[in-house]
A and B are shown apart, each in its own frame.
Chain A
Amino acid sequence: MSAEIQARFCLPRGDFRLEVDLCLPGHGISALFGHSGSGKTTCLRAMAGLERAAQGYFAIGNEVWQDEAQGHFLPPHQRALGMVFQEASLFAHLSVRRNMEYGQKRVQTSAPASERRFALPEVAELLGITHLLERSTRQLSGGERQRVAIARALLAAPKILLLDEPLAALDLKRKLEILPYLERLHGELSIPVIYVSHSPDEVARLADHLVLLEQGQVVASGPLNEVLSRINLPAAFVDDAGVVIEARIAEHEKDELTRLEFTGGLIYVSRRQEPIGTLLRCRIHARDVSLALVPQVQSSILNCVSGTVLDLAPTDTPGHVLVRLDVAGCPLLARITRRSADKLGIRQGLALWAQIKAVALLD
């Protein structure tokens, strides 16, 4: 199942040039992250075969869909993929059910039974659209349309799911409505998902693997936290620097706080609704972390963990530096002024305390 994805594309488009060489895991969600014009959508379209790179190679496991060196190129309709576009492109002339059956029917005539992994009622249930099946697509909200589009893609028995900013066209409320379904997919899908996004929050919440793109080039690719905790990323990504930690709800305390445990220690957040034991992803921005040589007991900041300095690097603003800490195996970034760094004598191996001013829970 976990066949690796190899993607190499060289695709010139006027002034722009996409040049990527990626190896992505064959399971979980890989996010292609970058600002607009970074080439992330073009890269996804090249994977789908909607753009043909003159020099290109694309394979999932041992299935090669494109190998221009051999003159081999499978057109999109011969690739076992599912794709969801930024705006839900449901077919207006078909009902929700017929939309979902569109790809499913075509797979059943062309593929062996072993390739059919999902049944329509099951997928409708997974995405919470069972009650919409007989409706016309015009009667759906933006979030519902995207869920139908995802269901339709899944029913085409894909070996890979390509999502092109599926939430970008939705307002915040609709985004929040659809995110839990994407998380559910994350848990239930055995196929890899490539997720294009320019929203750091979405990436932090969903991705396992992160690819950073800038001007058509890959600047970083690796497991989510490994990439997020790099301190030598290009300036465009430094502003949002921060790490994601996965923490388990340990206890709901009496004073409306919830205690979370992660490998590096404890953090307190406002009271959560989820039961004890639930895993949550939290994002800690580098700018919300301050450093101290001794634990601050006389402080209003609740969350304080101890760690050691791994390294430090300059940021996009000359007066600030980015410090990378190791908190019992967990990376943590702190953005502090150069003056403070000099005053504290920050250097590799120094043990200190990190005060976390804010924890963003990703929901």
Chain B
Amino acid sequence: MENAAYSQDLAAVWLTLKLASIVTVLLLIVGTPIAWWLARTRSAWKGVIGAVVALPLVLPPTVLGFYLLVAMGPNGPVGQLTQSLGLGILPFTFPGLVIASVLYSLPFVVQPIQNAFEAIGERPLEVAATLRASPWDAFWSVAVPLARPGFLSGAILGFAHTVGEFGIVLMIGGNIPGKTRVVSVQIYDHVEALEYTQAHWLAGGMLLFSFSVLLALYTLNPSRRKAL
């Protein structure tokens, strides 16, 4: 009985780390071009796109989760697409959870990277252009290295925020052991079952983890405190 409970806790921890790692990588891939565009565009759409990206900061996770559930469900546009591609339906699966988490944590990655790109300004890229670097080359050889603190903050925040999410996991992922049951949901289960000892272990672990992450962020990278 004890062992089974522990292995369930471990499975939840493992699943959480797996989810957060995959989501962080995807967030960097998706977030970087958005951040680059937001940092450099003079388009009238900048405000609109910026606001859409920032929405998860203020929306209750249930609202985002609800719309995603509808969209990815059997009758939703995304659901129909995934079905026609033979992928089945995403809600209550790990891939569905990944997609929801990416959307939910997007602002935490985009904003620090965007701030870093904005801080670099136009000049280093102009210099690179006069030194024969194409825009693509200059992006990788100048903009990305100079924005490194922003990428670091973005990755840490994205990872930590994904580890800490709860509402959207319940809405999209449900509570399937080994598949979608992450630590935050596991704690909820323990508390519901009045298993306070196990809840303490996991909750304490989360507290320690979150504190360490923020400590690292603040001490390694003092200038980016604003990113929060």
Chain A CB within 8 A of B84 CB: no
- Once A and B bind, how many residue pairs between them come within 8 Å at the CB atom? 64
Chain B CB within 8 A of A181 CB: no
- Structural contact, B129 and A75, CB atoms closer than 8 A: yes
Q: A81-B130, A110-B132 are in contact. Are A91 and B123 (CB under 8 A)?
A: no
Which residues of the other chain, A, contact B204 by a CB distance below 8 angstroms?
A: none
- Structural contact, A76 and B126, CB atoms closer than 8 A: yes
Chain B CB within 8 A of A153 CB: yes
- Chain B 117-155, CB-CB to A under 8 Å as 1, else 0, gives 000000110111111111101100110011010000000
- Chain A 67-96, CB-CB to B under 8 Å as 1, else 0, gives 000000001111101110100010111000
Q: Which of B130, B137, B142, B146 contacts A83 (CB 8 A)?
A: B130
Which residues of the other chain, A, contact B148 by a CB distance below 8 angstroms?
A: 93
> Which residue on B lies nearest to A109, using beta carbons?
B132
Would you give the shortest CB distance from B130 to chain A, in whole angstroms? 4
| Complex CA–CA separation, A91 to B134 (angstroms) | 16
Which residues of the other chain, A, contact B146 by a CB distance below 8 angstroms?
A: 91-93
Would you give the shortest CB distance from B125 to chain A, in whole angstroms? 10
- Structural contact, A106 and B133, CB atoms closer than 8 A: yes
Which residues of the other chain, A, contact B141 by a CB distance below 8 angstroms?
A: 102
- Structural contact, A153 and B130, CB atoms closer than 8 A: yes
In A115-157, which residues have CB < 8 Å from any B CB?
152-153, 156
Q: Which of A49, A50, A78, A103 contacts B131 (CB 8 A)?
A: A103
Which residues of the other chain, B, contact A282 by a CB distance below 8 angstroms?
A: none
Which residues of the other chain, B, contact A82 by a CB distance below 8 angstroms?
A: 130
What number of B residues sit within 8 Å (CB to CB) of A? 19
Chain B CB within 8 A of A322 CB: no
Which residues of the other chain, B, contact A203 by a CB distance below 8 angstroms?
A: none
- Structural contact, A102 and B130, CB atoms closer than 8 A: no
Chain B CB within 8 A of A107 CB: yes
Q: A92-B146, A93-B145 are in contact. Are A50 and B129 (CB under 8 A)?
A: yes
- Structural contact, A107 and B132, CB atoms closer than 8 A: yes
| Complex CA–CA separation, A46 to B123 (angstroms) | 15
Q: Which of B123, B124, B132, B145 contacts A77 (CB 8 A)?
A: B132
Which residues of the other chain, A, contact B129 by a CB distance below 8 angstroms?
A: 49-50, 75-77
| Complex CA–CA separation, A49 to B129 (angstroms) | 10
Q: Most chain-A CB neighbours within 10 Å: which of B129, B131, B145, B148? A: B131
Would you give the shortest CB distance from A359 to chain B, in whole angstroms? 39
| Complex CA–CA separation, A153 to B129 (angstroms) | 11
Chain B CB within 8 A of A204 CB: no
- Structural contact, A91 and B132, CB atoms closer than 8 A: no
Which residues of the other chain, B, contact A153 by a CB distance below 8 angstroms?
A: 130-131
